[in-house]
DNA sequence: TCAATATAATCAGACGTCTGTCGATTAGCC
DNA sequence: GGCTAATCGACAGACGTCTGATTATATTGA
């Protein structure tokens, strides 16, 4: 029970470990790990699921729209998309009216995977929130939402949320 | 003032954008961006600053200890450390008593950079917290702390905090 | 003493992320 | 029609992160 700071036991993290940036980084590390763990058997990452999700909701979208909706960088989106295409989870069809664009759409396999992933992703949420009381979880999400929204326009890739 | 969901305007993010994992990812993206922005002229990342900070506090440490204290992966730590060594901000000396180990220590340049970075890193904190009231910021940090501590032992790299 | 185990560090491979740049294409303007 | 600006998407380069494998070294125990 090493509890005595008597012995001048320094905490090397003091002054760093309580900074928001540090804690957010750690929280991100944790939530990524939990996601990977829960969805291991589907071999899917949170980022990839985001794309499947958004395509499932929107029907079809081009790369840039996906990036804007999810807050991904264009390059990141390009990589994720080509990875999903390689796995035949989405198709990438040239857009007739604008040949710069490719219209993305879920394949049957993509739909299936997305559907099978949903309960697992729900488990991720449950696990992440399980350390809080219901009230705390609500506050946590509210503050995170306030935080991200407040910085939205200052980021390179602001989210396009219809809610405003 | 597009406010009517009358027109069946779907929010493609609904059901995803309010998940803790999604928000945490976004928050991480933001805090990273702010850090980079503030510390651009020192050409230093949050991760790199963490190593400088911890070495400044501890005097000398080996790579694994740094990883454990900061919650980095061993490989990550190795890469960051070699990068800092290349910039002559730290030295890496073989440990006599245990030849597996390399003892890391800040160079003069490393000390200087760390000192010059401190006010900038403080500005990062201030900016990140500025979107909250003082009370909210406190709660936010408390909940983040609870979150990260609760999952600490389940992560691959649990933080070694003397405070327990 | 020798074998088994544990630890430190490196390396390879993968993914996510960002920056910056470039070419292709479209759209706007004269 | 033709120049120009804007946009899309590709690519290269960099960093952080994780996993898994490997090597070198210590420690422990039979």
Residues of A in contact with B125 (CB under 8 A): 19-21
pLDDT tens for A122-143 read 999 999 999 999 999 999 999 9
B128 closest CA partner among A79, B49, B136: B136
Collect the ranges in chain A with pLDDT lower than 50.
Answer: 1-9, 162-164
pTM comes to: 0.88
> Is pLDDT larger for residue B1 or for residue B11?
B11
- What per-residue confidence (pLDDT) applies to A76? 92
Do the Cβ atoms of B30 and A147 come closer than 8 Å?
Answer: yes
Confidence (pLDDT) at B96:
85
Furthest CA-CA distance within chain B? 74
Nearest CB neighbour to B12, from listed A69, A121, A147: A69
Residue nearest to nucleotide D27 (CA to C1'): B98
Q: Taking chain B, what is the end-to-end CA distance rounded to the nearest angstrom?
A: 51
From CA B56, how far away is CA A116, in angstroms rounded? 49
- For A36, nearest residue in chain B (alpha carbons): B21
Q: What is the pLDDT of residue B4?
A: 39
- Whose CA is closest to A123, among B19, B5, B63? B19
Residue-wise pLDDT for B78-130, tens only, equals: 999 999 999 999 999 888 888 888 899 999 999 999 999 999 999 999 999 99
Write down the pLDDT at residue A113. Answer: 95
């Amino acid at each position: 029970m090493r509890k005595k700071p008597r012995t001048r036991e320094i905490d090397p993290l003091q002054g760093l470990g309580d900074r928001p940036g540090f804690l957010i980084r750690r929280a991100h590390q944790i939530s990524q790990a939990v996601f990977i763990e829960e969805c291991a058997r589907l071999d899917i990452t949170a980022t990839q699921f985001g794309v499947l999700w958004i395509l499932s909701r929107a029907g079809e979208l081009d790369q840039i729209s996906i990036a804007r909706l999810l807050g991904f960088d264009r390059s990141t989106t390009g990589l994720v998309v080509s990875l999903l295409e390689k796995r035949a989870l989405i198709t990438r069809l040239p857009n007739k009216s604008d040949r710069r664009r490719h219209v993305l759409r879920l394949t049957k396999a993509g739909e299936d995977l997305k559907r099978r992933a949903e309960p697992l992703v729900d488990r991720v949420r449950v696990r992440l929130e399980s350390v809080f009381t219901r009230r705390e979880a609500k506050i946590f999400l509210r503050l995170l939402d306030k935080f991200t929204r407040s910085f939205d326009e200052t980021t390179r890739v602001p989210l396009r949320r219809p809610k405003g």
